[in-house]
Amino acid sequence: MMICLSIKKMSFRFVNSLIIPLVACLLLTIFPYISNANAGSGPKILILHSYHQGYLWTDMIQEGVSRSLSASFPNAELYVEYMNTKRQVREVLFPQLQELYRLTYKNTQFDVIVASDNNALDFLLLYRDSLFPGVPVVFCGINNIFKYKFTPEGNYTGVNEDLDIESTIAIALKLHPKTKKVAIITDATETGLINLDLARKTAQKFPAISFIELHRLTAENLSSRLRQLEDDTIVLALSFFRDPDGKTFTQSESMEFIVSASGRPVYTVWDFYMTPGAVGGKLLSGRLQGENAAMLVSRVLRGEKAGEMPIIESPTAYIFDYVGLQKFNISDSQLPFGALVTGRPDTFYSRYKYYIWFGSGLFTAQVIIILILLWNINKRKGEERARKSAESALQESETRYADIVNNIQDTFYRTDADGLLTMVNPSGAALLGYDSTDEMIGRPNASFWMYQEKRTEMLELLERDGVVRDHEVVLQRRDGSPVIVATTTSYYYDKDGHVLGVEGIFRDITERKRSEENLRQEQMFSSALLESLPGIFYLYSYPELKLIRWNKQHESLFGYQPGDIDGRSIFSWHPPEAKNAVMDAAKRVMELGQASIATTLFSKDGTPVPFLLTGVKFESLGRSYLMGTGIDITELKRSQEELSRQNNLISTIIESASESIFAKDTSGVYKSINQAGARMLGLSVAEVLGHTDDELLPAEIAKQFRKTDEQILTGGVESECEETGDWDGCMRTFLTHKTPWRDTSGNIIGIIGVSNDITGRKEHEKEQQKIEKLESLGVLAGGIAHDFNNILTGIMGNISFAKMCLDATHKSYQPLLEAEKASARAGGLAHQLLTFARGGEPVKKVVSLQHIIHETVSFVLHGSNVKGDVDIPDSIHAIEADEGQLSQVFHNIVINAVQAMPGGGNIYVTAENEKLNAGNLMALPEGDYVKLSFTDQGCGIPESDLIKIFDPYFTTKFSGNGLGLASAHSIVSRHGGQIGAISTAGIGTTFTIHLPSIGETYSAFQTESVVQAADTQKSGSILVMDDEEMILDMVVGMLEYLGYTVTKCLNGSEAIAQYKAAKESGSPFSAVIMDLTIPGGMGGKEAAVRILKIDPQACLVVSSGYSNDPIISDFKSYGFNAAIVKPYTMNDLGKLLSSLLAS
């Protein structure tokens, strides 16, 4: 506590003329006794300060300790050490200090140790038992006392440090009742941030007051803000020692600056922060901290055990400045009871007190001289001096005791044997709401207890043990409200050992209880918040970078148990080569306060996971930490890549299309058009954009286009029409499909159209003769299927690639799965089209009939009034078949059933395993088969028609072509099976199909495949050849993701050259995947022949969008080891290579 007192200097001439002779006489007289008094050795006390000498707070604590101890134990030997932790890193400093103190004090036995502030206490908790074993410790100036767990055996006690912001704001509001706003001043230092957090929590207790945070401002900005404060505002200065411009202030400079800049009352919570003109507050005093610690040291030296002495709550006092009170017209009567006012003007006594005291001292000295002379003459001078000394010491001790009792924040009380209150300190009166202690003296102690049964319980404990320590009870204030206290109570005795009454201490723990509950709630909230984060949370110590706090997501995402993750280094999540980059990122966070990086972390099993990490610098109790969160951006990266690929694909498709693709706004202005569209108009893209049809086309054609545009904009539906006109003297016809262009809200903002110049096609149609339906369909299907399968390969492959990178529970996984299924169905339709039109041998693989039938029935019956009843048990064997061709068979049968039941009904599908013997009625080879039955409730098939249903072009339907059941019969036959039908008119029809099985279920087969694949390490060198860049890049990405080393090329010639080079270098390719057809270049068939000449053991895989090509169905005859049909997924490709390389 810094109190400014005016001190008048005495005249040196007066002092020299009177004092010096007197002092000389006194010294000559009492010198022998002073010598004798100092002959004995006093207790040894080590005072360990956290900070440096000259730091005002530390100096005030030292003053309080030394002044009090010199009064109680004048012979005590004080050893003072300054740890200087504000200027050095404690992790480095502590071991050095340990060695220094070990050497310095190895032969010194201390009676007690005083530790000021947290760093000194932390040091003793680490090293006391090795440096000073068993020595009791008294601490003071300790923040966050609740984090320490003291036991009686540890022999620690002391004084807590806690800012009383709440009481300061409360007294300020009482002295300024019109206040509506409180301006809080804090800086960006560690102390400033802690004070700001405390102020925010305290603000919640004053809901009617608005709080203004003047935080982290420059001196210039702070001065400006303070001058602008309104009349209903007070200022609470907590800390302003350094501004963002780097300008620093001492305590006195800071407060003088704030007071001079502010026209409003300025309050604070520190005694060393007081300056003339500031009003004051409930101040924390370093000197009181030291004096209270000295009181506890005295008790220890008198024999009490430190570990059994209660910790004293933070001593604070109401202190106000006279100038500040006068400035805002505040009288002494408005101040709290016992408040201290500093800086008052000199009175006669204060002005001349040294003269008064000198005169009194001179008189006293003369009396002492006379007494000494008389004592020298008197035979009993020794006894008389001892008696007076004892009386003086007793009086001094009692005075100190009374001062301590009256100034401590805790309540001290004493009752007589009848339970009547005989003594209580001012803190007790304030605690229970009385104006003075006189109102309480003489009243029964029981009248202050809220619950008498608790008092009875305490008295029983007191009777049993003689003392009660830290016993929680509830007292009753004067207004009847409760207050929770912790009491330490004992009997006190006369000199003969008779009980005179009860004395003890009541400590108000209401706020502590509230704080403990708030802390518990905050901890629960913090824990819940951390666990609710979508990503990981981490807290690393700095500079050690060891993990000390994390959430459960951190464990689950990386596959660790809590015991495995505690204390892990930040570098353990990264590859060794990334260590420097990680350290640089951590340093960047420490320098800038916050930083984000995208990086790859590795889980316990070595799986790489891309993450976006955001780190912030966090400081607490002088320590620095790296704290932050991380979000798995696998999905984001894949989605971005997929979106980019799709956009590139769409852009490529649009620009490569021969059709005109365009977009217009509602005014008909072209906003986009491709090269083909511009060419159709005879212009460049730049010449078209920004213009209308009226500006670009003949009036008649423009009018025709505008009419159809208006229909689309008005009706809001898409339309397709043929538009014909005289175009530069030439009649041209366009087939145009137009659809509304809508924004994200669904509003029509224009038209999107696709237009194709079909003039030549129209002329060709007139001249073209009708060709064979099946041949025409086959040619068209082959081209479409090939191109379509190539496109689907890019789509399905990328979808499966993205799906492999996501957990099955991810919200994007199911949409990707559905998109993959839809793409597979599209591929199946293309395959069916080829099979239907041109036939072809099936490309077989082991498939699940359950899956094919469920998917086909669901697809066909969707939206119809026919219900499907599928009964296929899990025991049904798998078959080796072409999935697309079988889907076509089942599709045709179910379609016929639906058409046979226009009024609705059921179709029943069943399956069973069947073993056929040689010579069976169906003339099928002996072996295992699966028998499928499709039964409908339709009109039935007449017997005369039943024998023709599998004939090509036989149909009884008006819109039928007679090819559905014919192709079904052809497909089943090519699979080595048999199809038949029985029907009853008016009841229904049953189709029965027998197909060879593999003799085991699909799940059993799949398990064997998975085990085999799992046992095969996915590594090796793969050569991929395809003329489609999109497919080539996709396959390379898949294989590299699966762990393979990949080389790519565009045609067979390149493949042969690269294979030969790799073979000659001693690092041949493990496998070669080649597209069957390369337009304008060497395809896979010819390339395979030449590669096998180079290496007869080469592992070759053929790939094609022509799923009905003979090479695909009979790949071994052409030298290939396997075939894969486009489109395919990443899983298909991975399984194929795993199987090949395993064998």
pLDDT at 1008 over 80: no
Provide the 3-class DSSP secondary structure of residue 819.
helix
C-alpha span between 379 and 1015 (Å, rounded): 111
Which residues fall within 8 angstroms of residue 431, CB to CB, at 6 or more apart? 411, 475, 477, 483, 485, 506, 508
Burial of 385 (0-12, 13-18, 19+ CB in 10 A): middle
**At 677, is the pLDDT very low, low, confident or very high (cuts 50, 70, 90)?**
confident
> What pLDDT score does 3 carry?
30
> What pLDDT score does 36 carry?
36
What single-letter DSSP state applies at residue 248? B
> What pLDDT score does 12 carry?
35
Q: For residues 519 and 146, is the Cβ–Cβ distance under 8 A?
A: yes
Q: Average pLDDT for residues 223-240, to the nearest whole number? A: 94
C-alpha span between 218 and 201 (Å, rounded): 25
**At 9, is the pLDDT very low, low, confident or very high (cuts 50, 70, 90)?**
very low
Which residues fall within 8 angstroms of residue 282, CB to CB, at 6 or more apart? 164, 167, 168, 171, 269, 316, 317, 318
Domains of the chain: residue spans and CATH:
41-162+285-313 (3.40.50.2300), 165-284+314-342 (3.40.50.2300), 410-514 (3.30.450.20), 533-632 (3.30.450.20), 638-768 (3.30.450.20), 840-1005 (3.30.565.10), 1012-1142 (3.40.50.2300)
Of 270, 297, 307, 294, nearest to 403 by C-alpha is 294
What distances in angstroms separate CA 105 from CA 84, 85, 108, 130, one per listed residue?
19, 20, 5, 12
Burial of 317 (0-12, 13-18, 19+ CB in 10 A): buried
pLDDT at 18 over 60: no
Q: Which two tokens stand for residue 872?
A: 């296929």
pLDDT at 511 over 60: yes
> What pLDDT score does 961 carry?
64
Which amino acid would we find at residue 1034? M
> What pLDDT score does 766 carry?
56
**At 38, is the pLDDT very low, low, confident or very high (cuts 50, 70, 90)?**
very low
Beta bridge partners of 507: 486
Q: What is the pLDDT of residues 967-1004, one digit of tens each?
A: 888 889 889 999 999 998 889 999 999 999 998 988 88
Of 389, 390, 393, nearest to 371 by C-alpha is 389
User: Which of 570-584, 813-827, 958-972: highest mean pLDDT?
Assistant: 570-584
Q: Average pLDDT for residues 792-803, to the nearest whole number? A: 78
pLDDT at 165 over 50: yes
> What pLDDT score does 607 carry?
86
Q: What is the pLDDT of residues 186-202, one digit of tens each?
A: 998 777 888 899 999 99
Q: How far is CA 872 from the centre of its chain?
A: 48
Which residues fall within 8 angstroms of residue 856, CB to CB, at 6 or more apart? 887, 890, 891, 894
pLDDT at 524 over 90: no
C-alpha span between 400 and 404 (Å, rounded): 6
Its sign, for the CA torsion 959, 962, 965, 970, is negative
Which residues fall within 8 angstroms of residue 1113, CB to CB, at 6 or more apart? 840, 841, 842, 843, 844, 1123
392-414 burial, b at 16+ Cβ within 10 Å, e below that, comes to eeeeeeeebeeebbebbbbbbbb
Q: What is the pLDDT of residues 109-120, one digit of tens each?
A: 999 999 999 999
Q: Which two tokens stand for residue 8?
A: 């008048």
Q: For residues 965 and 949, is the Cβ–Cβ distance under 8 A?
A: yes
Which residue would you say has higher pLDDT here, 583 or 14?
Answer: 583
Which residue would you say has higher pLDDT here, 353 or 738?
Answer: 738
Q: Average pLDDT for residues 377-385, to the nearest whole number? A: 62
pLDDT at 770 over 60: no
Which residue would you say has higher pLDDT here, 729 or 275?
Answer: 275
> What pLDDT score does 833 carry?
61
CB count within 10 Å of CB 309 equals: 20
Q: What is the pLDDT of residues 704-728, one digit of tens each?
A: 888 888 888 888 888 888 777 666 6
> What pLDDT score does 581 carry?
86
> What pLDDT score does 10 carry?
35
Of 1109, 1140, 844, nearest to 995 by C-alpha is 844
Q: For residues 284 and 269, is the Cβ–Cβ distance under 8 A?
A: yes
Q: What is the pLDDT of residues 534-577, one digit of tens each?
A: 888 888 889 888 888 888 888 777 888 877 788 888 888 888 88
Which of 67-71, 94-98, 664-668, 810-814 shows the lowest mean pLDDT across its residues?
810-814
pLDDT at 851 over 90: no
Q: For residues 320 and 98, is the Cβ–Cβ distance under 8 A?
A: no
> What pLDDT score does 15 carry?
37
Q: How far is CA 381 from the centre of its chain?
A: 81
Q: Are strands 1021-1025 and 719-727 parallel, antiparallel or unpaired?
A: unpaired
Mean residue pLDDT of the chain comes to: 83
Percent of the chain with pLDDT strictly greater than 90? 36
Percent of the chain with pLDDT strictly greater than 70? 86
Which residue would you say has higher pLDDT here, 820 or 893?
Answer: 893
Of 731, 728, 830, nearest to 1106 by C-alpha is 830
> What pLDDT score does 133 carry?
94
> What pLDDT score does 14 carry?
35
Q: For residues 1082 and 1059, is the Cβ–Cβ distance under 8 A?
A: no
Q: What is the pLDDT of residues 1025-1061, one digit of tens each?
A: 998 888 899 899 989 998 999 999 999 999 999 999 9
pLDDT at 237 over 90: yes
pLDDT at 741 over 60: yes
Its sign, for the CA torsion 62, 63, 65, 69, is positive
Alpha-helical regions (H) of 870-963:
883-899, 943-946
pLDDT at 4 over 50: no
C-alpha span between 299 and 284 (Å, rounded): 23
> What pLDDT score does 346 carry?
67
Q: For the range 649-655, what are the long-range contacts, defined as Cβ-Cβ under 8 Å and sequence gap of 24 or more? A: 649/794, 649/1030, 652/1030
pLDDT at 1022 over 90: yes
pLDDT at 822 over 80: no
The verdict on whether omega for the bond into residue 1127 sits within 30 degrees of 0, i.e. cis, is yes
Q: For residues 266 and 257, is the Cβ–Cβ distance under 8 A?
A: no
**At 879, is the pLDDT very low, low, confident or very high (cuts 50, 70, 90)?**
very high
Q: What is the pLDDT of residues 1054-1096, one digit of tens each?
A: 999 999 999 999 999 999 999 988 888 899 999 999 999 999 9
Q: Average pLDDT for residues 381-407, to the nearest whole number? A: 63
Which residues fall within 8 angstroms of residue 1011, CB to CB, at 6 or more apart? none
Alpha-helical regions (H) of 952-1001:
964-974
CB count within 10 Å of CB 656 equals: 10
> What pLDDT score does 763 carry?
64
Q: For residues 644 and 798, is the Cβ–Cβ distance under 8 A?
A: no
